[in-house]
Amino acid sequence: LQQGDITFISSILDANPMLYLDEIQNQLLETRDVKVSLATLSRVVHRLQLSHKQLSKTVSERNELLHATWQAEYGDIPMEYFVWIDESSVDDKTNQHTDGWSPLGRACV
């Protein structure tokens, strides 16, 4: 790979850290007309000191005001009095990427 190709890989991962290696491979082929193996891409990503991590994101349903209101109302009740029931579901986000690339020592967001 040329230095321009490596810079391209770095920039597309900055813009979209959730890309899989095969998606990077496709973008390289479509954009720069460079055919490269997944093993080579893996080595380049590691040379860029990027690691593959689970994405850290805040729960989209969390509402800080409701959270604080609930704590003010029920905060004095002992924890052992509560029974929590969780619901399981499938939504449109079930098939989204949950991993991404980020520099060593930094969370992937």
Q: Which band of pLDDT confidence, cut at 50, 70 and 90, is reported for residue 86? A: confident
- Is 109 within the bounds of a domain? no
- Is 24 within the bounds of a domain? yes
Q: Residue 73: which domain range?
A: 3-103
Q: Which band of pLDDT confidence, cut at 50, 70 and 90, is reported for residue 61? A: low
- Is 33 within the bounds of a domain? yes
CA angle in degrees (0–180, nearest 5) for 61-80-76: 70
- Is 8 within the bounds of a domain? yes
pTM: 0.58
Kindly state the DSSP code that residue 77 receives in the 8-state scheme: S
- Is 18 within the bounds of a domain? yes
Q: How many domains, in total, are found in the chain? A: 1
Q: How many CA atoms within 13 Å lie on the side-chain side of 14?
A: 7
- Is 108 within the bounds of a domain? no
Helices (H), 1-109: 3-15, 21-32, 38-47, 64-74
